[in-house]
Chains A and B, each alone.
Chain A
């Protein structure tokens, strides 16, 4: 229905549909723009800012910016890559991300991006916040240490009436995810598994179910993040 438009990413001529988000258009042109908060079939929120690009010289998030004819997009310039790796480093330094003991290691998108950006030590001081693990729910563990507040669970996980299982609580540096207590009983194993899959890190885990995929055979162990789009090149 929508018209085809031409645009450029880092000088490469691309084609896409007018109005689709830049991230989608890039993928179909075999170009990967990293994202952490974006999730398939869900309205974008641009809370992680990792997909930051420059569009016609202006800093924008590619997950929320609709494609227009003639856009000149800067994706892998030194400036943009430094902002992105800065953001990844911020997220590592802000929380407590201890990969070796994390159930999601190998399937974690934050970890995978850390590798992609060849992060060694964050440029920022580690904050080492003291955060509680909430294991009070029958089928779900919430580990705030690993939460990057991408809001995926808030946006995706709704009950049949459209009520949110998860929500933000407080703001700024005190921001965290809460579980609606009256809906906790409705979190079945399936819902818990979905929440775990939706979460880009190991902040939401299904209870009594761990390490069923051995390390070495996990999602990003075989294929680095983004390679499904890039290898088509």
Chain B
């Protein structure tokens, strides 16, 4: 066993439950995870190598081969494509002299694709050795490749232009911009660090009173599903377990969502105080912030905030001087898997396993992390809790609509003048959003509400309101201009995204998404029939039998676009009356044999 492996194993007490951290640390040290490392880990954790490999191979960013000195992962999300990703990809290939999926001859540069990296407001963007490089242009790629060839360090590469706000701070030094376009009352208004917990202390609020307060506020989960926060906490408080855990889900992977990135950057104390409040309410002493790998550039910064909090007594024993309340927070990084944003998959991942969702019941509030009652809240939800505790229930309820109280952060991207994060009160329409963000309603073809798993909405529905009562959303709003090919550039891209990100556990998700892709491609290539369009709609209930939201919504890009843009599909059907199967190309099928016998197909 190498000294790196034995050192890392020792650091985590040979705990198989920390396998993600073990792998991340080894990769950070060696650049990749070797066969020898796998054997060493298996021996140290008393597992088979296949057991270790099944976690490693699940995540996009774990490398099993020696990597180049600079590893470029260029985002291939739909928004990246709309913003000119293909030109950037060509520039990388031209400058580096290698293709995607390859390493350059000198071993300096490797090129790979990756799914959305949370930068939809500043695409095209790439990760290079784990750090974000947004707003790429052909010229910038030329510069980057030239500097990489010279051996300039990644830290120096990004010194080119640091972003605004805390992106500029010494612990982050990120080239990322916040793009906060609208500050609302809850998340982006001023917050005095620790004030929510001060309030709990001065008001001598009991955990039950805190839960009641959250209940009165009407706060619902901001991740998209909208489950009442107080109810979740109450279930967990009443569940039996020797330990309880609080998770903050900062694994925002829904393409087009990037609001958590900005909260993590600008309001980390609001998040951590929110986690502490949740801990106090349910009786948990440990909080885990699960952050997506793509935000690795924040690691040092977030750790520095936690250290500050420990020094101030805002974490540790008797948090904020509240008797009997001990609370600690650790940060868990992922390694590139969209499905880990699903709460039970997130728990599996934090336990060092493949991010495969669990069957419910039991729900995490009864049996979650390490089998103990666990609350998982979205970043924005926890921030809202901290603010409503500080400013009061009446204040919170005065914002938004009857059933949708408070504010919502929107991540707006695509064909608008001002892509970025907008904090608005619930109850606005899609037209309002377009107006706010500088989108031209006359030139907008569609708005994708709630990311690929949401709905593809056309102009006839732009008056619908965004609220739990009507169109619910986790906040992703992608505006697609009329100049784009909606089916090819967006719908097909989203479907491929779901195929790549399926954990593969359910047959209904793993295989059905591929069938959807095949059939959509058949239609786009002109070989489709009307019955293919109806068949795709009829398959939806099979996908809905999947275990988690990924499989249950993987058909949404196709099904919602058929519903709202059927004419685009019909436009590809050559002969509307044709009934026989059109996907078979006989000339292509006999091409090989024709070549062998030296004849041309006579069809």
Contact = CB atoms under 8 A, between A and B. Distances in A.
B57 A91 contact: no
B515 A90 contact: yes
Nearest to A154: B54
A173 B48 contact: no
Contacts, number: 140
Contacts of A164: 47-48, 50-51
A64 B362 CA distance: 9
Nearest to B542: A86
A181 B52 CA distance: 12
B502 A91 contact: no
Contacts of A49: 506-508, 545-547
B54 A167 contact: yes
4 closest cross-chain pairs (CB), A and B: A175-B504, A167-B50, A180-B50, A180-B48
A44 B522 CA distance: 37
A163 interface: yes
A82 B42 CA distance: 44
Nearest to A176: B504
B505 A47 contact: yes
Most chain A CB neighbours (cut-off 10 Å) among B42, B337, B542 = B542
Contacts of A151: 505
B50 A172 contact: no
Nearest to A122: B515
A93 B510 contact: no
A30 interface: no
B359 interface: yes
Interface stretch (A8-16, A123-131, A202-210, A223-231): A123-131
A215 interface: no
A217 interface: no
A165 B57 CA distance: 17
Contacts of A163: 46-48, 51
B41 to A, nearest CB: 13
Given A149-B504, A167-B50, A175-B510, 10 more contacts: A46-B506, A49-B546, A82-B541, A125-B518, A167-B51, A169-B57, A172-B499, A173-B502, A174-B504, A180-B49
B500 A90 contact: no
A185 B234 CA distance: 51
B152 interface: no
A171 B504 contact: yes
A33 interface: no
Interface in A143-189: 148-149, 151, 159, 161-175, 178-183
A9 B472 CA distance: 34
Contacts of B505: 45, 47, 149, 151
A105 interface: no
A35 B80 CA distance: 42
A94 interface: yes
B542 A90 contact: yes
B512 interface: yes
Given A149-B510, A161-B46, A180 B51 contact: yes
A214 B504 CA distance: 35
A125 B507 contact: no
B53 interface: yes
Interface residues of B, number: 44
B59 to A, nearest CB: 9
A59 B545 contact: yes
B587 interface: no
A69 to B, nearest CB: 15
B448 to A, nearest CB: 22
Contacts of A168: 54, 57-58, 354, 504
Interface in B423-474: none
A171 B501 CA distance: 8
B511 interface: yes
A59 B545 CA distance: 6
A26 B46 CA distance: 39
Nearest to A82: B541
Nearest to B516: A124
A223 to B, nearest CB: 25
B53 A178 contact: yes
A183 B42 CA distance: 12
Chain B CB count within 10 A is highest, among A48, A163, A168, A172, for A172
Contacts of B542: 83, 86-87, 90
B503 interface: yes
A170 B54 CA distance: 7
B545 A127 contact: no
12 contacts: A45-B359, A49-B547, A59-B544, A61-B547, A83-B541, A86-B539, A127-B514, A166-B50, A167-B54, A169-B50, A172-B503, A173-B511
A79 interface: yes
A114 interface: no
Residue of B507, B508, B518, B519 with highest tally of chain A CB at under 10 A: B507
Given A83-B541, A173-B502, A127 B507 contact: no
Nearest to B509: A172
B503 A52 contact: no
B370 to A, nearest CB: 17
Interface string B530-556: 000001000101101111000000000
Contacts of B522: 125
Contacts of A181: 49-50
Contacts of A45: 359, 505
A124 B515 contact: yes
A46 B359 contact: yes
A150 to B, nearest CB: 9
A170 B505 CA distance: 11
Given A46-B547, A125-B583, A183-B48, A173 B507 contact: no
Given A169-B57, A171-B57, A171-B502, A87 B508 contact: yes
B19 to A, nearest CB: 13
A159 to B, nearest CB: 8
Contacts of B51: 163-164, 167, 180
A175 B356 CA distance: 12
